[in-house]
């Protein structure tokens, strides 16, 4: 195959006539070719070599020009020098000679001297008298000049020996000189003609010039090589190393920059690394403001979002709502169902809150079981409260966690900008205050911070002060609320509920002062008083011949954790002569779920004394069934919140039913508290509940009133609930 054919084939393949018809692989070949040519010319090394070669070439050319100029100047000077030396010899000899004819041997000696071609002397008549060239003799200078065109201008004017003139007049190769010689004896003038052998002079000079040229070129090449080595070491190699490193760093093959563009590669890698650092910083900032579990913002983020919303509202007007939502009983979820379940509950809550928020609202997780919500552009307190209860309702919808059906209670504390504070910290603090108020009010409460809340905090301190002497001041009373057997309508027991009639403030509800008493430890003294009073009263009723019932006393978590609780109770029973079967203790579900082993020990000791144990508020504390089996429990008290909608909601009976069945399976009896209507009562009877307690059957009442209630209640036989209700 001929080369021509090959090239044609290549061209047809590589460069078909139509651009559109150009096959893809051909296009890629062309671009590769172009790329590789570009690499050749673009690579840093090539650019440096190119530049230095150019400099080298310029240097060599300049030295060539220099040598050429020097050669020409030297040629003229050399010829002049030689001619001058010969002229001097001739002038000297002419002055000594008697006649010009005597000059013959001197002229032939000069003619043989190196670099001199001919030497001759002409008399004043212009005819050659003596010459190194025999044929010149007798000829006129003009004839010789005609034979040697170079010698065309034999100067007609006198030229002193000092002013030798090149006869050829500016001719580069000129080597013919005429010298006027003043003859001493006759005062006449002779002319000496000296022809320099310029070819030989030029050859000698040429040799010298070549040497100089070679030295100059070699020096230039050496200098360039040294410089290029230095540049390679100092610049190219490090930049290439940087480029290789940068390319190695560039993981993404497609993003690899064009080859041969080292500075580009390095600068892109630098840009990429700066970008990566910036991204990293952004990522870090994001991480620092994000809650890892729920993906929501954290407390810091919440504060920042609130501050931003505040400055927006300052500029454009409007209210900003700050909401803190707390999950009820979250600790017991963690304790009883495990932390994984706790995490799931938190994630579910986060999802629900995100789903419920309006556009522009910010949801964050600001504490273990606390979520913060910034409500932008609320129209006022009513709308804020409405939004809060929407969140609480959404969180409270029943859901499944493994095999368990759960309902997550929550409550909300809220503040409004600008009326409750003008700065993020103050607003959050006030929302926290409102939240603690909401927690006192119980599950589902949404409390808007008002200035009074602040007063309440002050009030709390006063309550604490007054509580310290409350027992001595005899301001406490016990009320009794009946528990009634569902099947028989008979009073089976009473719950002792503490009442405080403050001499100045009037009635203070236990939900207000019990938490204060718990916090400052006075609760221990209060419980002792309640136990003594309940035992004394019960014994008194028994002594009066009334139906023997058990009185239930509420004990707090702090009481339950005290080692001397059993002794205190035993001593109280002995002191008042009451048999242990007539005393019951109510402990809440969440209480027994903390520190389970200690609590089980205490409860077992109490049970072995013969005292009944009831679990209060059951269903809100996520008890584990495994634990429930280990508790020496006599009763479960279904929490009021389940009874509330037992008859209203279609599925309201589901949880009470599960609790009742579960309790019966464990051999434990069930009380429903907070029964307020006949419908609720009927439903509970249907579900197989054992006992009921609530306003429908009887409100909490002072001892004297309860005594009458007890006397009137059937001490046997069936009594319809309505009768018991009307008696209340």
Contact criterion met (CB below 8 Å) for 370 and 311: no
Smallest distance, Ca ion to C-beta of residue 429, A: 31
By CB under 6 A, residue 700 contacts ligand C2E: yes
Q: Distance between CA 521 and CA 559 in Å, rounded?
A: 9
Residue 700 interacting partner from ligand C2E, Ca ion, none (CB closer than 5 to 8 Å by kind): ligand C2E
* 494 near ligand C2E, rule: CB under 6 A: no
Alpha carbon 471 to its chain's center: 59
11 is written with which tokens?
Answer: 């061209």
CB-nearer residue toward ligand C2E: 175 or 694: 694
Binds Ca ion by CB under 5 A, chosen from 80, 466, 586, 690: 586
Compute the least distance from the CB of residue 395 to ligand C2E, in Å: 22
Q: How far apart are the first and last CA of the chain?
A: 121
Q: Examine residue 515 and tell whether it contacts ligand C2E (CB under 6 A).
A: no
Minimum distance of Ca ion from residue 637's CB (angstroms): 6
Distance of CA 95 to the CA centre of its chain: 108
By CB under 6 A, name the one of 169, 280, 338, 509 that touches ligand C2E: 509
Single out the residue of 228, 408, 481, 490 in contact with ligand C2E (rule: CB under 6 A): 481
> Is the C-alpha dihedral spanning 286, 291, 297, 302 positive or negative?
negative
Shortest gap between Cβ of 693 and Ca ion (angstroms)? 9
Site for Ca ion in 617-646 (CB under 5 A): 617
Assess 497 for contact with ligand C2E (CB under 6 A). yes
Q: How far apart are CA 419 and CA 337, in angstroms?
A: 42
- Contact stretch for ligand C2E (CB under 6 A) within 194-202, 293-301, 486-494, 669-677: 669-677
Q: Which range, of 127-135, 198-206, 548-556, 594-602, touches ligand C2E by CB under 6 A? A: 548-556
**Tokens encoding 622:** 């996520």
676 binds ligand C2E (CB under 6 A): yes
Residue with the shortest CB distance to ligand C2E:
694
Tokens 């027991």 sit on residue: 493
Q: Which lies closer to Ca ion via its Cβ, residue 361 or residue 616?
A: 616
The region of 349-357, 405-413, 620-628, 693-701 touching ligand C2E under the rule CB under 6 A is 693-701
What number of other Cβ atoms are within 10 A of residue 383's Cβ?
A: 15
Residue 476 CA to residue 436 CA, distance in Å, equals 25
Nearer CB in complex with ligand C2E: 472/626: 472
What residue 64 binds from ligand C2E, Ca ion, none (CB within 5 to 8 A, per partner kind)? none
What's phi and psi for 487, nearest 5 deg? -75, -40
* Distance between CA atoms of residues 193 and 121, nearest Å: 6
Q: Which of 273, 511, 598, 712 binds ligand C2E (CB under 6 A)?
A: 511
Please say whether the beta carbons of 480 and 489 come within 8 A: no
**Separation between Cα atoms, residue 390 and residue 393, nearest integer Å:** 5
Q: How many residues bind ligand C2E (CB under 6 A)?
A: 21
d(CA 548, CA 531): 17
656 binding ligand C2E? (CB under 6 A): no
**Binding of ligand C2E by 556 (CB under 6 A):** yes
Report how many helices (DSSP H) and strands (DSSP E) the chain contains, helices first. 27, 22
Using the contact rule CB under 6 A, the part of the chain among 216-224, 289-297, 392-400, 507-515 near ligand C2E is 507-515
Helix/strand/coil (H/E/C) assignment for every residue in 592-651: HCCCHHHHHHHHHHHHHHCCEEEEEEECCCCCCHHHHHHCCCCEEEECHHHHHCCCCCCC
**510: contact with ligand C2E by CB under 6 A:** yes
Closest CB to ligand C2E among residues 370, 616: 616
- Crossing angle between the packed helical segments 523-543 and 703-712, to the nearest 10 degrees: 40
Q: Are 723 and 488 in contact (CB under 8 A)?
A: no
**If you ran DSSP here, which 8-state letter would residue 236 be given?**
I
Write down the least CB distance from residue 510 to Ca ion, Å: 10
Question: Looking at 396, 612, 674, 721, which residue binds ligand C2E (CB under 6 A)?
Answer: 674
The rounded distance, in Å, linking the Cα atoms of 70 and 31 is: 51
Using rule CB under 6 A, residue 554 touches ligand C2E: yes
d(CA 469, CA 464): 9
584 scored as a contact of Ca ion (CB under 5 A): no
Q: How far is CA 337 from CA 197, 367, 537, 600, 621, in A?
A: 122, 20, 41, 18, 11
Select from ligand C2E, Ca ion, none the partner in contact with residue 436, using the beta carbon and a kind-dependent cut-off of 5 to 8 Å.
none
Structure tokens at 285: 């900032």
Q: Which span sits near ligand C2E by CB under 6 A: 100-108, 317-325, 336-344, 671-679?
A: 671-679
Cα 410 to Cα 326, 357, 382: the distances in Å are 5, 16, 19
The piece of 322-330, 449-457, 554-562, 626-634 that touches ligand C2E (CB under 6 A) is: 554-562
Taking the least distance from each CB to Ca ion, the nearer of 179 and 585 is 585
Query: CB-wise, 116 or 498, nearer to ligand C2E?
Result: 498
Question: Which of ligand C2E, Ca ion, none lies near 402, with the C-beta cut-off 5 to 8 A by kind?
Answer: none
Q: Using CB under 5 A, pick the residue from 262, 559, 616, 691 that binds Ca ion.
A: 616
3-state SS string over 267-315? HHHHHHHHHHHHHHHHHHHHHHCECCCCCCECHHHHHHHHHHHHHHHHH
Candidate list 554, 680, 693, 713; residue touching Ca ion; CB under 5 A: 554
Among 694, 703, 710, 713, binds ligand C2E (CB under 6 A): 694
Task: Rule CB under 6 A: say whether 533 interacts with ligand C2E.
Answer: no
Shortest gap between Cβ of 621 and ligand C2E (angstroms)?
13
- Smaller CB separation from ligand C2E, 107 or 498: 498
Q: How far is the CB of 414 from ligand C2E (least distance, A)?
A: 24
What is the rounded distance in angstroms from the CA atom of residue 660 to the CA atom of residue 649?
18
- By C-beta, is 175 or 721 nearer to ligand C2E? 721
Query: Which residues contact Ca ion (rule: CB under 5 A)?
Result: 554, 586, 616-617
Query: Which residues contact ligand C2E (rule: CB under 6 A)?
Result: 481, 497-498, 509-511, 514, 530, 554-556, 586, 616-617, 673-676, 694-695, 700
């Amino acid at each position: 195959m001929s080369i021509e054919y090959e090239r044609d084939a290549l061209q047809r393949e590589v460069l078909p006539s139509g651009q559109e018809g150009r096959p893809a692989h051909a296009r890629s070949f062309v671009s590769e070719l172009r790329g590789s040519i570009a690499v050749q010319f673009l690579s840093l090394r090539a650019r440096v070599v190119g530049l230095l070669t150019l400099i080298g070439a310029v240097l060599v050319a300049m030295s060539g020009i220099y040598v050429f100029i020097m050669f020409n100047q030297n040629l003229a000077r050399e010829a002049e020098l030689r001619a001058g030396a010969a002229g001097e010899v001739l002038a000297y000899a002419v002055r000594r000679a008697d006649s010009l004819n005597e000059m013959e041997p001197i002229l032939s000696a000069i003619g043989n001297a190196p670099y001199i071609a001919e030497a001759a002397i002409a008399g004043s008549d212009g005819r050659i008298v003596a010459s190194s060239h025999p044929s010149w003799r007798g000829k006129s200078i003009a004839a010789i000049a005609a034979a040697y065109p170079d010698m065309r201008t034999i100067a007609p004017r006198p030229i002193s020996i000092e002013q030798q003139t090149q006869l050829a007049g500016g001719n580069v190769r000129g080597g013919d000189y005429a010298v006027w010689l003043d003859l001493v004896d006759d005062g006449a003038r002779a002319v000496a003609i000296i022809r320099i052998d310029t070819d030989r002079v030029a050859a000698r000079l040429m040799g010298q010039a070549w040497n100089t040229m070679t030295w100059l070129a070699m020096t230039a090449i050496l200098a360039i090589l040294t410089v290029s080595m230095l540049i390679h070491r100092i610049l190219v190699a490090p930049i290439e190393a940087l480029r290789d490193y940068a390319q190695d760093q560039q993981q993404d093959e497609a993003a690899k920059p064009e080859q041969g563009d080292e500075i580009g590669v390095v600068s892109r890698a630098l840009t990429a690394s700066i970008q990566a650092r910036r991204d990293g910083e952004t990522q870090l900032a994001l991480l620092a403001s994000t809650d890892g579990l729920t993906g929501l913002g954290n407390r810091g983020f919440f504060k920042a979002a609130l501050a931003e919303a505040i400055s927006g509202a300052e500029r454009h007007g409007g209210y900003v709502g700050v909401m803190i939502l707390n999950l009820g009983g979250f600790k017991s979820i963690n304790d009883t169902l495990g932390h994984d379940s706790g995490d799931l509950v938190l994630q579910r809550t986060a999802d629900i809150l995100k789903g419920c928020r309006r556009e522009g609202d910010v949801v964050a997780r600001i504490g273990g079981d606390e979520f913060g919500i910034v409500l932008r552009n609320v129209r006022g307190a009513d709308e804020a409260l409405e939004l809060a209860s929407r969140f609480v309702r959404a969180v409270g919808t029943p859901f499944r966690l493994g095999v368990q059906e759960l309902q997550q209670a929550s409550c909300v504390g809220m503040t409004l900008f600008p009326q409750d504070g003008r700065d993020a910290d103050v607003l959050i603090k006030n929302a926290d205050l409102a939240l603690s108020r909401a927690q006192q009010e119980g599950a589902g409460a949404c409390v808007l911070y008002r200035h009074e809340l602040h007063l309440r905090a002050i009030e709390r301190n006063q309550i604490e002060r007054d509580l310290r002497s409350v027992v001595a001041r005899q301001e406490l009373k016990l009320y009794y609320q009946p528990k009634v057997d569902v099947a028989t309508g008979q009073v089976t027991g009473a719950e002792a509920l503490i009442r405080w009639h403050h001499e100045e403030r009037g009635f203070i509800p236990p939900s207000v002062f019990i938490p204060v008493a718990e916090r400052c430890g006075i609760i221990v003294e209060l419980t002792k008083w309640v136990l003594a009073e309940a035992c004394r009263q019960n014994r008194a009723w028994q002594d009066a011949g009334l139906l023997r019932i058990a009185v239930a006393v509420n004990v707090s978590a702090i009481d339950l954790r005290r080692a001397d609780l059993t002794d205190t109770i035993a001593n109280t029973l002995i002191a008042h002569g009451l048999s242990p079967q007539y005393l019951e203790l109510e402990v809440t579900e969440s209480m027994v779920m903390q520190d389970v082993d200690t609590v089980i020990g205490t409860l077992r000791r109490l049970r072995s004394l013969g005292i009944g144990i009831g679990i209060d508020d059951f269903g809100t504390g996520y008890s584990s069934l495994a634990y429930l089996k280990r508790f020496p429990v006599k009763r479960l008290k279904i929490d009021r919140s389940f009874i509330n909608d037992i008859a209203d909601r279609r599925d309201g009976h589901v949880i009470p039913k599960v609790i009742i069945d579960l309790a019966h399976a464990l051999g434990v009896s069930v009380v429903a508290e907070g029964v307020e209507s006949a419908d609720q009562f009927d439903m509970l009877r249907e579900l197989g509940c054992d006992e009921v307690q609530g306003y429908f059957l009887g409100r909490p009442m002072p001892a004297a009133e309860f005594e009458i209630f007890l006397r009137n209640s059937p001490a046997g036989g069936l009594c319809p609930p309505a009768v018991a209700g009307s008696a209340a």
